[in-house]
Every structure is written in structure tokens, then in C-alpha cells.
Amino acid sequence: RRRDALVGAAEVITEIERMARASGDADEHDGCIATVGRIEVQPGAVNVIPGRADLSLDLRAATDEARDAMWARMERRLEEMCEARGLRFEAQERHRAPAAPCAPWLTDAVVAGIGSTGQQDPLGLWSRAGHDAMAMARITDIGMLFLRCHDGISHHPDEAVLLEDVEVGLGEVRCLVRIGHEDGHRLGCVAALPFEDVRHGGSVADQCRHPVDGVGGEHYRSTGPEFGGGCRHGTDRIGS
């Protein structure tokens, strides 16, 4: 008859991870990522069975439709799991942000800029992070150019980028601005540079075409067909 909200929450978190990973295995573009970054347990005593667990969930996908469909499936599954343990499951949405797809004409300009440096057939990917595009997309078209980070680490003190990559990236930006002006577009660029810790050697020619897996997905020098996937933030509550 023991109804432990923390054990139920642990199962829920594991299932959230499983479902998100399975969606990516089935379709890399429409796959979702899910992060549980916070959990609070009540009453919080060492010798008392937890009666309530509150946990956060950040759910993201390249499109709003894929994200919302995943949440619908996930919510049903989590409710079933909690019911099987005699627990109550409640979910409350705290924040919702739409996906911000890149403008095709800007993506074409980025591809042309990359081609000007000698790299052909650049890889396209969608960014799991929001960055500035989530806000800028409300007022204008957006595009994205990725530079590699060592081991795929980003938004972290260990983030590092090769100076050679920065130089090549700036050349690509200059080219895409020129192309935009020739086509009658006025372009503005927002640069987001990593920390100054640049310590990893190696030639650009040897490294620039190879993706590096890491936290938050792959990081390439390439175009971003979907920049800033839509996200939902919510709080799940599990109680006995």
C-alpha cells in the first residue's frame, strides 16, 4: 500500500527520456528533446515517504506540431504510470514559444556564403536552443550559420572554438551580406561568439566536415533550416 511520489517521479523522468530518445531515433528532424531540470519533494524528511513531487519539463521540437503531438502522447503515458502506482498526476503549462524557421532566401544566402569558402554541400540542421532568433523572428526573417565547438559543448565555460573557424565564418558572413545586397535585401547580423578559451588545434580542412556529438545536439559549420525549435515549459505534480 506504499505510495511513494518520489519513486513515481523517478519512473516518470525515465519514461520522459525514453520517449524523447525514441522520437529522435524514428525521425531526426521531427524528434523531440525533453529536459527535467528541477525536482522538489515534500515533506523532504529523511524518514518520511514523499507525498508529493514537483518536477519541471522543458519539451522542444523543430515544429510546434511535433512538440504538441509528443506532449499529448507523453501526458497520457505518465498518467497511466502514476495511476498504476496509486498516485495522482497533474500538469500545468508555464510557458510556450513557437518554432522559428529560417527564411528560405536567407538559408540560400548562407549556403552560398559557405560555398565561397570552398566547402560544398553544407549540412543543414535545426537548433535545439532558442538564441536571439526566437525574438527576432517576430519582426523579420532570420537565418543561421553554425561554427563548430570542441566536443559539441556550448553555453558552458568549457566551450571552445578554433580561430581558423571564426575566420572562415566571418568570410562566409561577408559573402552572404554581399549576396543579400545584390538581391536587394538589407541584412543585419547578430554575432554570438563563445568564450575566449581557444585552445584546440587542428586544421580546418581536416575537421570542418565532421559533426561532433555533444550535449544539446550536433554542432556543424552549416546552415540552419530550422532555428530555434518551439518549446514548452511546464510543471508536473505527482502526489499520493
Judge whether residue 22 has pLDDT over 60.
yes
CA 100 to chain centre: 12
pLDDT tens sequence across 23-56: 987 666 668 999 999 999 999 999 999 999 999 9
Q: How confident is the model at residue 157, as a pLDDT?
A: 87
By C-alpha distance, which of 74, 76, 93 is closest to 18?
74
Judge whether residue 4 has pLDDT over 90.
yes
End-to-end distance of the chain based on CA atoms, in angstroms? 11
Q: How confident is the model at residue 195, as a pLDDT?
A: 31
Q: How confident is the model at residue 97, as a pLDDT?
A: 86
pTM of the model: 0.71
pLDDT tens sequence across 80-132: 999 999 999 999 999 888 888 888 888 888 888 788 777 777 877 777 776 67
Q: Lowest mean pLDDT of 11-15, 95-99, 100-104, 172-176, name the range.
A: 172-176
**Mean pLDDT score across all residues of the chain:** 75
Rg (CA), the chain: 21
d(CA 191, CA 174): 12
Q: Lowest mean pLDDT of 159-163, 176-180, 219-223, 233-237, name the range.
A: 219-223
pLDDT category at 1 given cuts 50, 70, 90 is: confident
Judge whether residue 227 has pLDDT over 60.
no
Residues 238, 53: contact at Cβ < 8 Å? yes
